[in-house]
Amino acid sequence: MTANGRILIIDDEASLRQTLARILQRAGFEVTTAANGAEGFSLVSQHLFDMIYLDIRMPDVSGLELLKSIHAKYPDLPVILFTAQPDLNSAVEALRSGATDYLLKPLKPQAVVDRTNSILANRQQERRKRELQRQIDSLQAELNDLESPKGEKAGSKPQQADTSDDRFLKRGGLTLDLHTRRVTMNNRVVNLSPTSFDYLLSLARHTPNVVDYQTLVSEAQGYEVDAREAQELTKWHIHHIRQAIEADSRKPVHVINVRGTGYRLVLD
């Protein structure tokens, strides 16, 4: 792996594929390209990549089907889908299938570079957290063995390590674990994609105030877009969040749309 990461671009449109490759190469990434889904999956199977950009519409295999195959084999590999034809159902299915993000063409060069840096930095941070947690667990187990009364069975279950107050963000029945990036709603674990987690985190930090579309995109995805694009990007993740935390996503009571402005999170 290079200092900035290895990126695979899978897209049947040669001009976009080459342009995206140049953008990322100039930013210091090592880039490999594939002209179709079969070639892309072959490359993923043979080489190590840190991130994938994948067109959702290709002639040989749909991006969604390829995403599912990649995610099944490499569940921790970030995959960004992009399309020129926004479709709420496709976006939601992509997030459910493990996509890290879902972007609209035309892709803006600086937004692509910023998003790539953000995702890879988060991935590196999560790896480091897991490594440190393993070390903490190992040291805690060793400390428990040293402190246990004589004759007590060695290797007993270690005590839970102390956690700081800033690890958890709690709003009513909603709890966000900022270390493991896990969400619980009324003590029930709910599944969210990494990007949708960041959208919910933004809403939770601002609650009960309204968060406008552009602020949500900026805080959750790390780049600036105009109001129309922000609204389109946001609604897919909001739909996914509602399905995760609302009793009835068609009649939301927690994530409320303030028409033409943004969303706000309402919790007891």
pLDDT at residue number 228:
82
110 & 12 share domain: yes
Q: Is residue 131 part of a domain?
A: no
What pLDDT does residue 160 have? Answer: 42
Q: Is 149 inside a domain boundary? A: no
Domain membership flag for residue 249: yes
Is there a domain that residue 138 lies in? no
| Position 15 in a domain | yes
The CATH number given to whatever domain includes residue 207 is 1.10.10.10
Same domain membership, residue 15 and residue 109: yes
pTM for this prediction = 0.58
Averages of pLDDT over runs of 10 residues in the chain (268 residues) are 77 92 94 94 92 89 88 87 75 77 84 87 73 75 71 43 66 91 90 87 94 91 79 86 91 93 91
12 and 115 part of one domain: yes
- HSE, side-chain direction, 13 A CA sphere, residue 59: 4
* Domain of residue 229, residue span: 163-265
Say which CATH number the domain at 10 has.
3.40.50.2300
88, 121, 154: which is the final residue of a domain?
121
Instruction: Identify whether 145 is part of a domain.
Output: no
Looking at the structure, tell me whether residues 93 and 200 fall in a common domain: no
Six token digits for residue 120: 């890879």
125-131: which pairs have CB atoms within 8 A and are 24 or more residues apart? 126/181, 129/179
Examine the domain organization and report whether 194 and 253 are in the same domain: yes
In total, how many domains does the chain have?
2
Residues 169 and 231 in one domain: yes
Inside any domain, residue 107: yes
Beta bridge partners of 188: 185
Backbone angles phi, psi at 267, to 5 degrees: -140, 150
pLDDT of residue 157: 43
